[in-house]
Protein backbone atom coordinates (compact mmCIF):
# COMPACT_ATOMS: atom_id res chain seq x y z
CA UNK A 1 0.00 0.00 0.00
CA UNK A 2 1.28 3.51 -0.66
CA UNK A 3 2.69 5.23 2.37
CA UNK A 4 2.76 8.88 1.33
CA UNK A 5 1.54 11.58 3.71
CA UNK A 6 -2.25 11.45 4.12
CA UNK A 7 -4.40 14.29 2.86
CA UNK A 8 -5.27 17.09 5.33
CA UNK A 9 -8.89 15.96 5.30
CA UNK A 10 -7.84 12.50 6.45
CA UNK A 11 -5.77 14.00 9.24
CA UNK A 12 -8.83 15.91 10.41
CA UNK A 13 -10.92 12.74 10.38
CA UNK A 14 -8.23 10.90 12.32
CA UNK A 15 -7.98 13.64 14.96
CA UNK A 16 -11.76 13.65 15.36
CA UNK A 17 -11.82 9.86 15.56
CA UNK A 18 -9.18 9.81 18.30
CA UNK A 19 -11.05 12.48 20.26
CA UNK A 20 -14.39 10.66 20.11
CA UNK A 21 -12.96 7.22 20.86
CA UNK A 22 -11.02 8.64 23.79
CA UNK A 23 -14.11 10.31 25.22
CA UNK A 24 -16.11 7.10 24.90
CA UNK A 25 -13.33 5.21 26.67
CA UNK A 26 -13.56 7.56 29.64
CA UNK A 27 -17.22 6.70 30.16
CA UNK A 28 -17.11 3.00 29.36
CA UNK A 29 -13.99 2.44 31.46
CA UNK A 30 -16.08 2.89 34.61
CA UNK A 31 -17.72 -0.44 33.87
CA UNK A 32 -14.38 -2.26 33.83
CA UNK A 33 -13.44 -0.73 37.17
CA UNK A 34 -16.76 -1.77 38.69
CA UNK A 35 -16.34 -5.42 37.72
CA UNK A 36 -12.75 -5.59 38.94
CA UNK A 37 -13.39 -3.95 42.30
CA UNK A 38 -16.71 -5.46 43.35
CA UNK A 39 -17.56 -8.28 40.94
CA UNK A 40 -15.67 -10.92 42.91
CA UNK A 41 -17.14 -9.70 46.20
CA UNK A 42 -20.71 -9.94 44.86
CA UNK A 43 -19.94 -13.40 43.45
CA UNK A 44 -18.70 -14.67 46.82
CA UNK A 45 -21.70 -13.13 48.57
CA UNK A 46 -24.25 -14.73 46.24
CA UNK A 47 -22.53 -18.11 45.82
CA UNK A 48 -21.28 -18.51 49.38
CA UNK A 49 -17.88 -19.80 48.24
CA UNK A 50 -14.52 -18.22 47.39
CA UNK A 51 -14.12 -20.82 44.64
CA UNK A 52 -16.67 -18.80 42.64
CA UNK A 53 -14.90 -15.48 43.24
CA UNK A 54 -13.62 -15.34 39.67
CA UNK A 55 -16.96 -16.22 38.10
CA UNK A 56 -17.95 -12.66 37.15
CA UNK A 57 -14.56 -11.93 35.61
CA UNK A 58 -14.64 -15.28 33.84
CA UNK A 59 -18.11 -14.82 32.39
CA UNK A 60 -17.27 -11.24 31.42
CA UNK A 61 -14.21 -12.38 29.49
CA UNK A 62 -16.17 -15.22 27.89
CA UNK A 63 -18.77 -12.67 26.87
CA UNK A 64 -15.99 -10.50 25.46
CA UNK A 65 -14.74 -13.45 23.41
CA UNK A 66 -18.21 -13.99 21.95
CA UNK A 67 -18.64 -10.27 21.42
CA UNK A 68 -15.25 -9.81 19.74
CA UNK A 69 -16.17 -12.25 16.99
CA UNK A 70 -19.66 -10.77 16.59
CA UNK A 71 -18.46 -7.16 16.63
CA UNK A 72 -15.72 -8.02 14.13
CA UNK A 73 -18.32 -9.22 11.64
CA UNK A 74 -20.53 -6.23 12.36
CA UNK A 75 -17.62 -3.83 11.82
CA UNK A 76 -16.75 -5.49 8.51
CA UNK A 77 -20.36 -5.19 7.35
CA UNK A 78 -21.40 -1.81 8.74
CA UNK A 79 -18.33 -0.06 10.14
CA UNK A 80 -16.88 0.72 13.55
CA UNK A 81 -19.68 3.08 14.61
CA UNK A 82 -22.45 0.49 14.63
CA UNK A 83 -20.26 -2.25 16.09
CA UNK A 84 -18.85 -0.23 18.97
CA UNK A 85 -22.09 1.47 19.96
CA UNK A 86 -24.01 -1.83 19.86
CA UNK A 87 -21.47 -3.48 22.14
CA UNK A 88 -21.72 -0.71 24.71
CA UNK A 89 -25.52 -0.93 24.72
CA UNK A 90 -25.38 -4.65 25.50
CA UNK A 91 -22.75 -3.98 28.17
CA UNK A 92 -25.01 -1.42 29.85
CA UNK A 93 -27.81 -3.99 29.96
CA UNK A 94 -25.38 -6.39 31.62
CA UNK A 95 -24.43 -3.84 34.29
CA UNK A 96 -28.12 -3.35 35.05
CA UNK A 97 -28.42 -7.13 35.28
CA UNK A 98 -25.82 -7.24 38.07
CA UNK A 99 -28.03 -4.89 40.06
CA UNK A 100 -30.95 -7.25 39.50
CA UNK A 101 -28.83 -10.21 40.62
CA UNK A 102 -27.85 -8.43 43.83
CA UNK A 103 -31.48 -7.56 44.57
CA UNK A 104 -32.84 -11.06 43.90
CA UNK A 105 -29.84 -13.01 45.19
CA UNK A 106 -29.87 -15.04 41.97
CA UNK A 107 -26.35 -16.19 41.16
CA UNK A 108 -27.33 -17.32 37.65
CA UNK A 109 -28.49 -13.78 36.85
CA UNK A 110 -25.04 -12.55 37.89
CA UNK A 111 -23.39 -15.07 35.55
CA UNK A 112 -25.56 -14.06 32.58
CA UNK A 113 -25.00 -10.38 33.34
CA UNK A 114 -21.25 -10.93 33.34
CA UNK A 115 -21.49 -12.30 29.81
CA UNK A 116 -23.37 -9.20 28.67
CA UNK A 117 -20.88 -6.87 30.36
CA UNK A 118 -18.27 -8.65 28.28
CA UNK A 119 -19.69 -6.93 25.20
CA UNK A 120 -18.71 -3.59 26.70
CA UNK A 121 -15.29 -5.00 27.53
CA UNK A 122 -14.89 -6.14 23.91
CA UNK A 123 -15.63 -2.60 22.76
CA UNK A 124 -12.85 -1.28 24.99
CA UNK A 125 -10.49 -3.73 23.29
CA UNK A 126 -11.60 -3.06 19.71
CA UNK A 127 -11.52 0.69 20.19
CA UNK A 128 -7.72 0.60 20.29
CA UNK A 129 -7.68 -0.97 16.83
CA UNK A 130 -10.28 1.48 15.52
CA UNK A 131 -7.86 4.23 16.48
CA UNK A 132 -5.34 2.89 13.94
CA UNK A 133 -7.65 2.61 10.91
CA UNK A 134 -6.46 5.93 9.47
CA UNK A 135 -3.14 6.23 11.32
CA UNK A 136 0.12 6.95 9.58
CA UNK A 137 2.45 3.95 9.83
CA UNK A 138 4.96 5.71 12.08
CA UNK A 139 2.23 6.84 14.50
CA UNK A 140 0.22 3.65 14.97
CA UNK A 141 1.71 2.81 18.34
CA UNK A 142 1.07 6.35 19.56
CA UNK A 143 -2.52 6.52 18.32
CA UNK A 144 -3.40 3.08 19.66
CA UNK A 145 -1.90 3.82 23.06
CA UNK A 146 -3.61 7.21 23.31
CA UNK A 147 -7.04 5.60 23.26
CA UNK A 148 -5.88 2.93 25.72
CA UNK A 149 -4.58 5.70 27.96
CA UNK A 150 -7.93 7.47 28.04
CA UNK A 151 -9.42 4.37 29.67
CA UNK A 152 -7.45 5.41 32.75
CA UNK A 153 -9.90 8.09 33.79
CA UNK A 154 -12.98 5.93 33.83
CA UNK A 155 -11.31 2.72 34.94
CA UNK A 156 -9.46 4.34 37.84
CA UNK A 157 -12.49 6.38 38.84
CA UNK A 158 -14.71 3.29 38.86
CA UNK A 159 -13.36 1.57 41.99
CA UNK A 160 -13.13 4.91 43.81
CA UNK A 161 -16.82 5.51 43.21
CA UNK A 162 -17.65 2.74 45.66
CA UNK A 163 -18.75 5.30 48.23
CA UNK A 164 -20.85 7.16 45.68
CA UNK A 165 -22.30 3.87 44.50
CA UNK A 166 -23.24 2.92 48.05
CA UNK A 167 -24.96 6.27 48.44
CA UNK A 168 -26.93 5.75 45.22
CA UNK A 169 -27.81 2.23 46.30
CA UNK A 170 -29.02 3.50 49.65
CA UNK A 171 -31.27 6.10 48.06
CA UNK A 172 -32.69 3.53 45.63
CA UNK A 173 -33.08 0.82 48.26
CA UNK A 174 -30.52 -1.47 46.57
CA UNK A 175 -27.76 -3.67 48.06
CA UNK A 176 -24.70 -1.52 48.78
CA UNK A 177 -22.27 -3.21 46.35
CA UNK A 178 -24.71 -2.96 43.44
CA UNK A 179 -24.71 0.84 43.37
CA UNK A 180 -21.44 0.96 41.46
CA UNK A 181 -23.04 -1.00 38.64
CA UNK A 182 -25.76 1.65 38.33
CA UNK A 183 -22.94 4.10 37.61
CA UNK A 184 -21.31 1.60 35.24
CA UNK A 185 -24.52 1.21 33.22
CA UNK A 186 -24.85 4.98 32.90
CA UNK A 187 -21.22 5.27 31.80
CA UNK A 188 -21.60 2.67 29.07
CA UNK A 189 -24.75 4.35 27.79
CA UNK A 190 -22.91 7.67 27.66
CA UNK A 191 -20.05 6.07 25.71
CA UNK A 192 -22.55 4.51 23.31
CA UNK A 193 -24.14 7.88 22.59
CA UNK A 194 -20.75 9.52 21.99
CA UNK A 195 -19.85 6.92 19.35
CA UNK A 196 -23.28 6.60 17.74
CA UNK A 197 -23.81 10.34 17.38
CA UNK A 198 -20.25 11.50 16.82
CA UNK A 199 -18.29 8.87 14.87
CA UNK A 200 -19.11 10.23 11.41
CA UNK A 201 -17.47 9.58 9.03
CA UNK A 202 -16.72 6.04 10.12
CA UNK A 203 -12.93 5.46 10.02
CA UNK A 204 -13.16 1.87 8.79
CA UNK A 205 -15.63 2.76 6.05
CA UNK A 206 -13.26 5.53 4.95
CA UNK A 207 -10.36 3.07 5.01
CA UNK A 208 -12.25 0.49 2.95
CA UNK A 209 -13.45 3.07 0.41
CA UNK A 210 -17.15 2.77 1.32
CA UNK A 211 -17.46 6.25 2.78
CA UNK A 212 -16.01 9.41 1.29
CA UNK A 213 -14.26 12.25 3.07
CA UNK A 214 -14.62 15.64 1.47
CA UNK A 215 -11.24 16.68 0.12
CA UNK A 216 -9.60 13.26 0.47
CA UNK A 217 -9.30 10.09 -1.60
CA UNK A 218 -11.22 7.02 -0.47
CA UNK A 219 -9.94 3.50 0.08
CA UNK A 220 -6.92 4.65 1.98
CA UNK A 221 -4.48 3.18 4.40
CA UNK A 222 -3.26 6.55 5.64
CA UNK A 223 -3.39 7.88 2.13
CA UNK A 224 -3.69 4.95 -0.27
CA UNK A 225 -5.26 5.96 -3.57
CA UNK A 226 -7.32 2.89 -4.56
CA UNK A 227 -10.23 1.11 -2.88
CA UNK A 228 -9.15 -1.93 -0.89
CA UNK A 229 -9.83 -5.54 -1.92
CA UNK A 230 -12.76 -7.28 -0.23
CA UNK A 231 -11.86 -7.81 3.44
CA UNK A 232 -11.24 -11.25 4.90
CA UNK A 233 -14.04 -12.37 7.22
CA UNK A 234 -14.41 -14.76 10.12
CA UNK A 235 -12.25 -16.28 12.81
CA UNK A 236 -10.67 -18.76 10.39
CA UNK A 237 -9.40 -15.92 8.21
CA UNK A 238 -8.24 -14.07 11.31
CA UNK A 239 -6.33 -17.09 12.59
CA UNK A 240 -4.65 -17.51 9.21
CA UNK A 241 -3.61 -13.86 9.23
CA UNK A 242 -2.18 -14.12 12.75
CA UNK A 243 -0.21 -17.27 11.88
CA UNK A 244 1.20 -15.85 8.65
CA UNK A 245 3.98 -13.73 10.17
CA UNK A 246 6.38 -14.36 13.08
CA UNK A 247 5.69 -10.88 14.46
CA UNK A 248 1.94 -11.39 14.64
CA UNK A 249 2.43 -14.86 16.18
CA UNK A 250 4.73 -13.52 18.87
CA UNK A 251 2.55 -10.46 19.42
CA UNK A 252 -0.60 -12.46 20.05
CA UNK A 253 1.30 -14.92 22.28
CA UNK A 254 2.44 -12.04 24.47
CA UNK A 255 -1.05 -10.56 24.61
CA UNK A 256 -2.63 -13.89 25.59
CA UNK A 257 -0.13 -14.72 28.31
CA UNK A 258 -0.21 -11.21 29.76
CA UNK A 259 -3.99 -11.08 29.82
CA UNK A 260 -4.43 -14.52 31.36
CA UNK A 261 -1.99 -13.76 34.16
CA UNK A 262 -3.35 -10.27 34.74
CA UNK A 263 -6.98 -11.40 34.98
CA UNK A 264 -6.11 -14.34 37.23
CA UNK A 265 -4.13 -12.33 39.76
CA UNK A 266 -6.21 -9.16 39.58
CA UNK A 267 -9.53 -10.92 40.09
CA UNK A 268 -8.29 -12.79 43.17
CA UNK A 269 -6.57 -9.83 44.82
CA UNK A 270 -9.75 -8.31 46.35
CA UNK A 271 -10.54 -11.69 47.93
CA UNK A 272 -6.93 -12.03 49.16
CA UNK A 273 -6.96 -8.54 50.67
CA UNK A 274 -10.37 -8.99 52.24
CA UNK A 275 -9.15 -12.22 53.82
CA UNK A 276 -6.34 -10.24 55.47
CA UNK A 277 -8.71 -7.64 56.87
CA UNK A 278 -8.44 -4.93 54.21
CA UNK A 279 -11.35 -2.50 54.06
CA UNK A 280 -13.43 -1.84 50.97
CA UNK A 281 -11.62 1.50 50.67
CA UNK A 282 -8.19 -0.15 50.64
CA UNK A 283 -9.37 -2.68 48.08
CA UNK A 284 -10.72 0.15 45.92
CA UNK A 285 -7.44 2.06 46.10
CA UNK A 286 -5.45 -1.06 45.24
CA UNK A 287 -7.59 -1.84 42.21
CA UNK A 288 -7.50 1.80 41.09
CA UNK A 289 -3.72 1.93 41.23
CA UNK A 290 -3.52 -1.36 39.37
CA UNK A 291 -5.76 -0.02 36.61
CA UNK A 292 -3.70 3.17 36.54
CA UNK A 293 -0.69 0.96 35.89
CA UNK A 294 -2.56 -0.71 33.05
CA UNK A 295 -3.50 2.49 31.27
CA UNK A 296 -1.76 5.61 32.59
CA UNK A 297 1.57 5.01 30.84
CA UNK A 298 0.08 3.55 27.67
CA UNK A 299 1.29 6.54 25.56
CA UNK A 300 4.81 5.87 26.80
CA UNK A 301 4.45 2.23 25.77
CA UNK A 302 3.23 3.39 22.37
CA UNK A 303 6.17 5.73 21.86
CA UNK A 304 8.61 3.03 22.98
CA UNK A 305 6.97 0.61 20.55
CA UNK A 306 7.34 3.08 17.67
CA UNK A 307 10.96 3.69 18.68
CA UNK A 308 12.30 0.23 19.63
CA UNK A 309 9.80 -2.17 18.09
CA UNK A 310 6.92 -4.10 19.55
CA UNK A 311 8.80 -7.32 20.28
CA UNK A 312 11.36 -5.68 22.56
CA UNK A 313 8.72 -3.72 24.47
CA UNK A 314 6.48 -6.77 24.83
CA UNK A 315 9.37 -8.89 26.14
CA UNK A 316 10.19 -6.25 28.74
CA UNK A 317 6.54 -6.20 29.71
CA UNK A 318 6.47 -9.96 30.26
CA UNK A 319 9.51 -9.83 32.53
CA UNK A 320 7.92 -6.99 34.51
CA UNK A 321 4.69 -8.94 34.75
CA UNK A 322 6.46 -12.04 36.09
CA UNK A 323 8.26 -10.00 38.75
CA UNK A 324 5.02 -8.31 39.76
CA UNK A 325 3.00 -11.45 40.42
CA UNK A 326 5.84 -12.92 42.46
CA UNK A 327 5.99 -9.73 44.52
CA UNK A 328 2.24 -9.79 45.13
CA UNK A 329 2.19 -13.51 45.80
CA UNK A 330 4.86 -13.30 48.48
CA UNK A 331 3.55 -10.06 50.02
CA UNK A 332 1.99 -11.85 52.98
CA UNK A 333 -0.32 -9.58 54.95
CA UNK A 334 1.22 -6.34 53.64
CA UNK A 335 -1.50 -4.48 51.78
CA UNK A 336 0.93 -1.98 50.30
CA UNK A 337 3.38 -4.57 48.95
CA UNK A 338 0.41 -6.26 47.31
CA UNK A 339 -0.58 -2.90 45.85
CA UNK A 340 2.93 -2.29 44.49
CA UNK A 341 2.85 -5.69 42.84
CA UNK A 342 -0.52 -4.91 41.28
CA UNK A 343 0.79 -1.61 39.88
CA UNK A 344 3.73 -3.41 38.26
CA UNK A 345 1.30 -6.04 36.97
CA UNK A 346 -0.62 -3.28 35.24
CA UNK A 347 2.55 -1.83 33.70
CA UNK A 348 3.64 -5.23 32.38
CA UNK A 349 0.20 -5.84 30.91
CA UNK A 350 0.23 -2.40 29.29
CA UNK A 351 3.58 -2.98 27.61
CA UNK A 352 2.61 -6.41 26.30
CA UNK A 353 -0.84 -5.34 25.11
CA UNK A 354 0.12 -2.08 23.41
CA UNK A 355 3.24 -3.53 21.80
CA UNK A 356 1.56 -6.80 20.82
CA UNK A 357 -1.41 -4.98 19.29
CA UNK A 358 0.92 -2.76 17.27
CA UNK A 359 2.79 -5.85 16.06
CA UNK A 360 -0.47 -7.32 14.78
CA UNK A 361 -1.51 -4.10 13.01
CA UNK A 362 1.88 -3.64 11.36
CA UNK A 363 2.34 -7.24 10.21
CA UNK A 364 -1.11 -7.90 8.68
CA UNK A 365 -2.26 -6.55 5.28
CA UNK A 366 -5.20 -4.13 5.38
CA UNK A 367 -7.81 -6.54 3.89
CA UNK A 368 -6.98 -9.08 6.61
CA UNK A 369 -6.49 -6.61 9.44
CA UNK A 370 -9.98 -6.37 10.97
CA UNK A 371 -10.36 -10.16 10.92
CA UNK A 372 -6.97 -10.51 12.61
CA UNK A 373 -7.87 -7.85 15.17
CA UNK A 374 -11.22 -9.43 15.99
CA UNK A 375 -9.66 -12.86 16.29
CA UNK A 376 -6.92 -11.47 18.53
CA UNK A 377 -9.53 -9.93 20.82
CA UNK A 378 -11.52 -13.17 20.88
CA UNK A 379 -8.42 -15.15 21.86
CA UNK A 380 -7.47 -12.48 24.38
CA UNK A 381 -10.86 -12.71 26.04
CA UNK A 382 -10.73 -16.51 26.09
CA UNK A 383 -7.32 -16.39 27.74
CA UNK A 384 -8.71 -14.02 30.35
CA UNK A 385 -11.68 -16.30 30.92
CA UNK A 386 -9.36 -19.26 31.42
CA UNK A 387 -7.24 -17.23 33.82
CA UNK A 388 -10.25 -16.09 35.83
CA UNK A 389 -11.76 -19.57 35.94
CA UNK A 390 -8.56 -21.27 37.05
CA UNK A 391 -7.69 -18.48 39.48
CA UNK A 392 -10.58 -19.19 41.83
CA UNK A 393 -9.76 -22.89 41.91
CA UNK A 394 -6.04 -22.15 42.35
CA UNK A 395 -6.73 -19.73 45.20
CA UNK A 396 -8.72 -22.38 47.03
CA UNK A 397 -6.16 -25.13 46.30
CA UNK A 398 -2.67 -23.56 46.46
CA UNK A 399 -3.31 -20.06 47.73
CA UNK A 400 -2.44 -16.60 46.44
CA UNK A 401 1.28 -17.36 46.57
CA UNK A 402 0.98 -20.41 44.34
CA UNK A 403 -1.13 -18.40 41.92
CA UNK A 404 1.69 -15.87 41.63
CA UNK A 405 4.31 -18.54 40.90
CA UNK A 406 2.18 -20.09 38.18
CA UNK A 407 1.56 -16.69 36.60
CA UNK A 408 5.27 -15.86 36.55
CA UNK A 409 6.14 -19.11 34.79
CA UNK A 410 3.51 -18.51 32.11
CA UNK A 411 4.71 -14.96 31.47
CA UNK A 412 8.35 -15.97 31.14
CA UNK A 413 7.52 -18.81 28.75
CA UNK A 414 6.69 -16.30 25.99
CA UNK A 415 9.86 -14.22 26.26
CA UNK A 416 12.10 -16.38 23.98
CA UNK A 417 9.71 -16.02 21.03
CA UNK A 418 9.57 -12.24 21.49
CA UNK A 419 13.35 -11.97 21.76
CA UNK A 420 13.71 -14.00 18.56
CA UNK A 421 11.47 -11.55 16.67
CA UNK A 422 13.25 -8.55 18.18
CA UNK A 423 16.61 -9.81 16.92
CA UNK A 424 15.29 -9.98 13.35
CA UNK A 425 14.23 -6.33 13.30
**pLDDT digit string, tens, across residues 182-196:** 998 999 999 999 999
Read off the DSSP letter of residue 85: H
Average pLDDT in the 193-207 region? 92
Q: Does residue 228 register a pLDDT over 70?
A: no
Domain residues of the chain, as ranges? 8-424
**Main-chain dihedrals φ then ψ at residue 414, nearest 5 degrees:** -90, -20
Name the maximum alpha-carbon separation found in the chain: 63
Contact 107, 46 (CB under 8 A): yes
Does the pLDDT at position 64 exceed 90? no
**DSSP 8-class letter at 231:** P
Please check whether the domain covering 8-424 is classified as CATH 1.20.1250.20. yes
Q: What is the CA radius of gyration of the chain?
A: 20
Q: Please tell me the pTM assigned to this model.
A: 0.76
Contacts of 269 (CB under 8 A, 6+ apart): 286, 287, 290, 328, 338, 342, 400
pLDDT in tens, 366-385: 778 888 988 998 899 889 87
Give the chain's end-to-end CA distance (angstroms, integer).
Answer: 20
420, 250 in Cβ contact below 8 A?
A: yes
In this prediction, residue 233 has a pLDDT band, given cuts at 50, 70 and 90, of low
How far apart, in whole angstroms, are the C-alpha atoms of residue 414 and residue 126?
Answer: 23
Residue 93: pLDDT band by 50, 70, 90 thresholds?
A: very high
pLDDT in the model for residue 357: 93
Q: What is the pLDDT of residues 94-143, one digit of tens each?
A: 999 999 999 999 999 999 999 999 999 899 889 988 998 888 877 888 88
Sign of the CA dihedral with 60 first, then 62, 65, and 68 last:
negative
Amino acid sequence: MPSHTPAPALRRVQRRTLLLLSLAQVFSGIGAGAVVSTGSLIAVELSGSEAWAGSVTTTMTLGAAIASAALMRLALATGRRTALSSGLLVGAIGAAGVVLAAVTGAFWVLVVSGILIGFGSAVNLQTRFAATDLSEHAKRGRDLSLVVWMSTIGAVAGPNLLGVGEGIAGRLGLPALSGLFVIAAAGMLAGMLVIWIGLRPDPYLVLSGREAVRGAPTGTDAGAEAPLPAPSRGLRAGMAALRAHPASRAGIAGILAAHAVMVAVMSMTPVHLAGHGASVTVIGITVSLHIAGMYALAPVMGLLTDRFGGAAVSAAGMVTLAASVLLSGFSGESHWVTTLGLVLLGLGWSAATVAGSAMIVQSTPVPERVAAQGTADTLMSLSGAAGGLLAGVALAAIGYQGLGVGGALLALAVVPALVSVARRV
